[in-house]
Amino acid sequence: MGRTPCCDKNGLKKGPWTQEEDLKLTNYIQVHGPGNWRTLPRNAGLQRCGKSCRLRWTNYLRPDIKRGRFSFEEEETIIQLHSVLGNKWSVIAGRLPGRTDNEIKNYWNTHIRKRLLRNGIDPVTHAPRLDFLELSSILGLTLCSQSVVNASNLLGAQTFLNPQLLSLANTILSLKQENPESVLQYLNQNQLCTTSAVPCTSTMINQTGLMQEGFSSDMTNLSYPNSQENLTSSTLTNAFIGQPNTTVPVLSETPNMQYSLDGNQNYSFDSVRSTPTSSPTPLHSSSTYMNRCSTDDDIESFSSLFKFEIPEGLDIHDFM
DNA sequence: AAGATCTGCAACCGCATACCA
DNA sequence: ATGGTATGCGGTTGCAGATCT
């Protein structure tokens, strides 16, 4: 009953393929076609498992494989499809002629995923992340409220806060409780307070009633009722983003911030797209987002992240 | 210049499902 | 119907080259 095992792993070669092996496999498949991977290695004179041969052929030797950098259009397509399909690399590959699932998977993990993270997009949900705003909120409350914020509130957020940033928040909180002036010293020493945007003063930190009166509900603009100065969220986020070796933390998702699909089948991140433009920090300034983009590619991709079109003829329902 | 660290990618591994005897 | 194999897929690893210190 059943079939014989696909291959006996004993004595079979593993690791990188040699030119000679590639040649043997290619020649054999050109003559006999790619079927029956179990018997293929023996027939082709290869000391390899059939699985290994299939992988080598489909991911590397196949003549229709496109090599080289992914084009902008390909990248867009991958992002679109991934937002709908998730990690269905083979299905995504089916929409990108000449690209293999392995190649797309690698490209996603090494390029696109990092880029999305860097730009504040959750690569799993494709929803904008409010990490910085949430942290700003926590710190804002910590620094500016007269009521003592219980450290457990911060610790409770530990499951989704970047440990580095949480540690920073805790440090500032404890300093504040000991001596508000030491907070200023700490912020200035660590360049966490951008004096050009808003000077940190003890008056500001100790200002009364800010929590009740001062903060706008969306936390994008933390205004001081008795001051001309506005402590913006970008001021705080700048402080963190500007720190070398500060990684982008993963916080909670925002369910109300998702793609919207307009009549022209344009996906857009409404919430996030509006944030940079309405923010005091311009999109193309060197702060906030753009200072994380090290290459032209990053910049180009960043701008495209917030609006892209689904190619004509691409029916999402095909994949469902 | 050399060692450490980072990055990109080919290849492997294990699982799920289709297929077959 | 059952159980074993073949194939396909996604996650992960390991290595080589690039970059940093």
**Strand B contacted by A320 CB (< 7 A):** no
Query: So what's the pLDDT on residue A291?
Result: 34
Q: Which nucleotides of strand B lie under 7 Å from a protein CB?
A: 7-14, 20-21
Which residues of A233-309 form beta strands (DSSP E)? 259-261, 266-269, 307-309
Across chain A, what does the average pLDDT equal?
57
Tell which wins on pLDDT, A131 or A235. A131
Q: pLDDT (tens digit, 9 = 90+) per residue, A93-146?
A: 888 888 888 888 888 888 888 888 777 788 888 877 665 455 555 555 555 444
**pLDDT tier, A41 (very low <50, low <70, confident <90, very high otherwise):** confident
Query: What's the fold here for domain A68-127+254-309?
Result: Arc Repressor Mutant, subunit A (1.10.10)
> Distance between CA atoms of A154 and A168, rounded to whole angstroms?
11
> Distance between CA atoms of A132 and A136, rounded to whole angstroms?
6
Place of tokens 């912020």: A187
Query: Does the domain at residues A19-61 carry the CATH identifier 1.10.10?
Result: yes
Query: So what's the pLDDT on residue A180?
Result: 52
In whole angstroms, C11 C1' to A134 CA is 32
What's the rounded mean pLDDT across residues A248-269?
35
In whole angstroms, B20 C1' to A1 CA is 9
> Distance between CA atoms of A61 and A29, rounded to whole angstroms?
10
Q: Is the pLDDT of residue A49 over 80?
A: yes
Same fold, A19-61 and A68-127+254-309: yes
Q: Is the pLDDT of residue A271 over 70?
A: no
Chain-centre distance of CA A293, in angstroms? 13
- Nearest nucleotide to A101, CA against C1' atoms: C9
Residue among A244, A226, A252, A250 nearest A292 (CA): A244
Q: Which of A18-32, A178-192, A224-238 has the lowest mean pLDDT?
A: A224-238
Q: Which residue is nearest to nucleotide C2 (CA to C1')?
A: A1
Query: So what's the pLDDT on residue A84?
Result: 84
> Residues 175-194, chain A: which have Cβ under 7 A from strand B?
none
Footprint of strand C on the protein (CB under 7 A): A 1-7, 15, 35-38, 50-51, 54-55, 87-91, 101-102, 105-106, 109
Q: pLDDT (tens digit, 9 = 90+) per residue, A131-189?
A: 545 555 555 555 544 433 333 343 333 333 444 455 555 555 555 554 555 555 555 55
Three-class SS state of A6: coil
Q: Is the pLDDT of residue A262 over 80?
A: no
**Domain ranges within chain A, ordered by starting residue:** 19-61, 68-127+254-309, 131-241
Residues 6+ apart with CB under 8 A from A202: A180, A181, A184
In whole angstroms, C8 C1' to A124 CA is 23
Q: Which amino acid type is present at position A109?
A: N
**pLDDT tier, A69 (very low <50, low <70, confident <90, very high otherwise):** confident
The top-scoring range by mean pLDDT among A67-81, A138-152, A232-246 is: A67-81
